[in-house]
Structure formats: C-alpha cells, structure tokens
Amino acid sequence: DMGGHDTYMHKEIFEQADAVDRVLRGRIDDRFSTVHLGGLNLDAREARGVRRIKILGCGTSYHAGQIGAQLIEELARIPADAEPASEFRYRNPVVDPDTLYVAVSQSGETYDVLAAVQELKRKGARVLGVVNVVGSAIAREADGGTYVHAGPEVCVVSTKCFTNTVVAFALLALHLGRIRDLSVADGKRIIDGLRRLPEQISEILAGEDEIKRLAAEYAEAKSMMFIGRVRGYPVAREASLKLKEVSYIHAEAYPASELKHGPLALIEPAMPTVAIVPDDDLLEKNRAAMEEIKARSGRILAVAHQVQEKADHTIVVPKNENELDPILMGIPLQLFAYHTALAMGRDIDKPRNLAKSVTVE
Ligand code: F6R
C-alpha cells in the first residue's frame, strides 16, 4: 500500500519525520542528559575501555556509518572511522581487543557485512549491530546493538533508513559521550537538537515543488559533481549515489578541498555541481570552492542554511546543532534524485541491475 504516493521511494521519503520520531521515542533521559539504548550489552565500564570504533557497512549504510564515525569522534572523542565491509574483510585486518566494531545494515542480511561480522567474532572481537530489520542475520550474530526503527523499506533505494541510521548513531555517540567527557550542557544541547529534527524534516519536505523545479533544470546534465567538506562530505557521497541509482546520471562526489587536485579539470557548464554548505566553521572554505567553480563557468546548486551568493540556486535547509546538520542536508537531495528520475521515466522503486538486499558476495 503506497498510501496515496506513486512510488515507495516517495512514500518513504515522506515518512522520515515519523521515522525519526520513532527512533528517539522512549530513549531520551532528560535527568542525565543522555539516552538509553536497551540492547547494547555494553556496560559503562566496558564503554570506557573502548579505544577505537570501526564501523562497517555497504552502500548507503556505509555512508551513514561515515557520518556516524564523525558523530562519535565529535561527541565521545573516541577515534572512529567507517570502511566498506567487503574491503575490510579481504585485507586481513588487524583485529584489536580495545576496538569496538559496529556493523550497519538496513536489511541485516547483506552478505559482505554478515561475513565481516562472522570473521570479527571468530577473532574474538566485540561487534555491535545498527540494523533496521528486527531479528535479521546480522542482528542475531552481533553481541548487541540498536535497532534503527525506520519501519519497512520497500524501495530498493534507501532513504528513510539512511536518515534513521544516522540518528541512531547520534544516539550512540551521545550515550558514549555522556559516559566519558561530554558535558551535561552539551548533552542537553544535542538532545534539544534531536527533538527539533522531525519538524525540520517536515519543513524541508514542504519545499518539494521548488526542488522538483530545480531537478528539471539540472537534470539535462550528463554528469554531476557533488562536493562537501567534513560533515558535508558523506552527505555529498550519499546524494551522488542516490542520483546515480535512480536516474542513471553519472555523478562524482569529492571533498571540496580536493577539487584543485584534479577534478576541477571536469568543471564546465555541462557539469553542474551540488555543493553542501553548512553554516559552520568551514563556510568560508566552501564559499572559496564555489568561487573556483564559478571561475570555470560551472553551475552550482547549493544546499545551505542561508542563500549562497556564489551559487546559481540555493536550497535552504533549517539549521540544527552543527553536529546534527548532516542529518537534514541530504533530505532535499533525496527529493532531487527522485524528481530527476521521475522526469526521465525511470523505474524508481526497482532501478536496473540492483536488488534490495545483496545476500551473495
Ligand atoms: C542504496 C542502497 C544500497 C544498500 C546496500 C547495503 O540506496 O540501497 O547501497 O545501502 O546494499 O544494504 P543494507 O543496508 O541492507 O546492508
């Protein structure tokens, strides 16, 4: 049942305010400015002993894990990074007892992720799952973890589960941070920010008509560039993947700072750029990157917290706490990919060559 929507992708994009509300529900502890995650199976003493966090996933879940790693470093000050599960498994990784491993998966059945979890467990590591489907293989193999509570995702292309996974990581980061050095005031600041998300998501989705218009304007491109820095970079990667998957338009994602090291050679009027420009300490750097692109006659669509003069168009999104900005900035670009694909007559819920869960290697 698509509940009045023409595709599951559209329905699922529009379910995000409710889905985020669901992942927060019952978990916030205002008294201690922290959150409770029931199934982690990691007590405070064990959590304090964690020296590193390694996040493993594929595709969109890997991108959510990249944002998750940044959230963990920012809020808990534990060194963290994300890696594609398939690559991790084949490079004979050094498995360290003080590292906490986190497997991320919507389906909980992705073979590359499951195999990485099994290899880690064989080597005695502790593995948590950040999974959407309850009782799935990865959820069962993991030592503990947290469910993402996005609800069923039918469209092959992941949207609401991406957003909820990032929110689940924010909860994990907040929890770990409050066991360590994150202050009560910062804990409260993040909680207040999390509570603002559902309404801000609705605000973004209310701008659909304008995004649809922009999609029509940019979608004649053969290829598009997506750029961002630090918090904006995984957002750019995910938006680039989304556009590729549903529209089949070629897209590249780069850190804005890397443009001058090569990809700037691609910039010309027929190669528009989508720039993720949060209002944070990298704003001026991002403006400088947009200037470089304009100087090469590149067109720019910015996703930002205020209208960007250097850009040809700006999709303005509501500001949250800096750490939580990536959660919101990708949402208009889900709609951008959707409307681009719709205008091109693509099979949106079942893009060619793709399957919802990849249970083979
Ligand atoms: C992208 C997409 C895929 C999946 C990937 C992992 O829209 O759907 O990239 O994210 O195949 O799937 P899960 O999260 O089920 O492990």
Distance 240 CA to ligand 1 centre (A): 14
**Nearest residue by C-alpha to atom 5 in ligand 1:** 59
Q: What is the reported pTM?
A: 0.97
Instruction: Please report, to the nearest 10 degrees, the dihedral formed by the alpha carbons of residues 353, 59, 107, 20 taken in order.
Output: -120
Q: So what's the pLDDT on residue 66?
A: 98
CB 303 within 8 A of CB 329: yes
**Nearest residue by C-alpha to atom 3 in ligand 1:** 59
Is 310 an annotated catalytic residue?
no
**Options 121, 212, 294, 356, the catalytic residue:** 356
Q: So what's the pLDDT on residue 142?
A: 98
Instruction: Give, to the nearest 10 degrees, the angle between helix 59-76 and helix 232-247.
Output: 170
Per-residue model confidence as pLDDT tens for the chain (361 residues): 888 999 999 999 999 999 999 999 999 999 999 999 989 999 999 999 999 999 999 999 999 999 999 999 999 999 999 999 999 999 989 999 999 999 999 999 999 999 999 999 999 999 999 999 999 999 999 999 999 999 999 998 999 999 999 999 999 999 999 999 999 999 999 999 999 999 999 999 999 999 999 999 988 899 999 999 999 999 999 999 999 999 999 999 999 999 999 999 999 999 999 999 999 999 999 999 999 999 999 999 999 999 999 999 999 999 999 999 999 999 999 999 999 999 999 989 888 888 888 888 8
Counting atoms of ligand 1 from 1, which one is nearest the CA of 356?
Answer: 8
Q: Is the ipTM of this complex over 0.95?
A: yes
Distance 158 CA to ligand 1 centre (A): 6
Distance 18 CA to ligand 1 centre (A): 21
Q: What is the 3-state secondary structure (H, E, C) of the chain?
A: CCCCCCCHHHHHHHCHHHHHHHHHCCCEECCCCEECCCCCCCCHHHHHCCCEEEEEECHHHHHHHHHHHHHHHHHHCCCEEEEEHHHHHHCCCCCCCCEEEEEEECCCCCHHHHHHHHHHHHCCCEEEEEECCCCCHHHHHCCEEEECCCCCCCCCCCCHHHHHHHHHHHHHHHHHHHHCCCCHHHHHHHHHHHHHHHHHHHHHHCCHHHHHHHHHHHCCCCEEEEEECCCHHHHHHHHHHHHHHHHCCEEEEEEHHHHHHCHHHHCCCCCCEEEEECCCCCHHHHHHHHHHHHHCCCCEEEEECCCCCCCCEEEECCCCCHHHHHHHHCHHHHHHHHHHHHHCCCCCCCCCCCCCCCCCC
**Nearest residue by C-alpha to atom 6 in ligand 1:** 58
Counting atoms of ligand 1 from 1, which one is nearest the CA of 107?
Answer: 15
Pocket residues: Cβ below 6 A from ligand 1: 58-61, 105-107, 110, 113, 157-158, 245, 357-358
Instruction: Give, to the nearest 10 degrees, the angle between helix 16-24 and helix 184-205.
Output: 160
Distance 156 CA to ligand 1 centre (A): 8
CA 264, CA 57: separation in Å to the nearest integer?
Answer: 30
